[in-house]
Amino acid sequence: MPKTSRASSTALTPEALAESIAAEETMAPEPVALYALGLGDDALVLAHRLGEWITNAPELEEDVALGNIALDLLGHARSLLTYAGSAWGRSEDDLAYFRGESEFRNRQLFEQPNGDFAQTIARQLYASVHFDALYRALRLSSDPTLAAIAAKATKEVDYHLDHSVQWLLRLGLGTEESHRRMQRGLDAMWPFVDELFHPDAATDAAGALDGVAVDPEPLRAAFDDRVPRLIADAGLTVPTIPFARGGGREGRHTEALGPMLAEMQVLARAHPGVTW
């Protein structure tokens, strides 16, 4: 029977977790690995999108802020992918750089292009509210590794959420043009919100994740209570645009993901196995 980590501290850094896996002290059962893989892909893809703003943000402070948020998300992704890979003998880099588009399990919201700055803030607002509720619930997981990853992530997501809310207010209550763009960004990202709350039946077909994973459906109530209030505080309107089909957890993605992965993976694929 594969072991899971006894000490939650092993999940606080990807390096410590990898050492625990190498010593055969920690290993994810396959259903848990698939669950962690989906969460890791969400964080990894969003981290890359935010990283695209570095040197392109509207002010120098935002280069740093968005870069820091991207690094936090990358840390979440590294731990989750390292843990997921323990089930198959694959490293975080194997999973990040040597899977094809249909093998990625991220929700479609996180792969959406940055657009203008307001669109990025809209995506980050929806993502941060979702992550806040998700990781708070995941801290109670019966899997100690996932619980430890979530406990660390929760502290960082607090900042991510505050950052997006402050920009939502600044843009929504700013000029006529900033208000228009912020509303347009909220509208553009809205179709991908519903998928965040779809159950992932493929990973829990036999109830293998009972007590381990977070059921996403109950998280919808908190999102629906919080996000409309934030949008209204910014003088904006909750979108009424129909939701997209979704399917990211099953490998169905929008046309945005393929080019992003090509850019993210090109160096590792051109020089496989190289160290720096």
pLDDT digits (tens, 9 = 90+) for 64-122: 999 999 999 999 999 999 999 999 999 999 999 999 999 999 999 999 999 999 999 99
Domains located in the chain, CATH noted: 8-270 (1.20.1260.10)
CA distance 159 to 70: 12
Is it the case that residue 215 has pLDDT exceeding 90? Answer: yes
In which band, very low, low, confident or very high, does the pLDDT at 7 lie, cut at 50, 70 and 90? very low
With contact defined as beta carbons under 8 Å apart, do 237 and 231 qualify? yes
Structure tokens at 242: 């129909």
Query: How many C-beta atoms lie closer than 10 Å to residue 218's C-beta?
Result: 11
The tens digit of pLDDT for each residue in 12-70 reads 688 899 899 988 889 999 999 999 999 999 999 999 999 999 999 888 899 999 999 99
- CA nearest neighbour of 48 among 267, 272, 265: 265
- CA nearest neighbour of 192 among 126, 251, 250: 126
Task: Calculate the dihedral angle through the C-alpha atoms of 109, 73, 95, 17, rounding to the nearest 10 degrees.
Answer: -140
Query: The pTM is what?
Result: 0.93
In which band, very low, low, confident or very high, does the pLDDT at 206 lie, cut at 50, 70 and 90? low
CA distance 3 to 11: 14
- Write out the DSSP string of 114-163: --SHHHHHHHHHHHHHHHHHHHHHHTT-SSHHHHHHHHHHHHHHHHHHHH
Q: What is the mean pLDDT of residues 126-139?
A: 98
Average pLDDT, the chain: 93
Q: What is the pLDDT of residue 204?
A: 65
Contacts of 22 (CB under 8 A, 6+ apart): none
Q: Which amino acid would we find at residue 148?
A: A
Distance of CA 48 to the CA centre of its chain: 10
Is it the case that residue 2 has pLDDT exceeding 90? Answer: no
DSSP state of 218: T
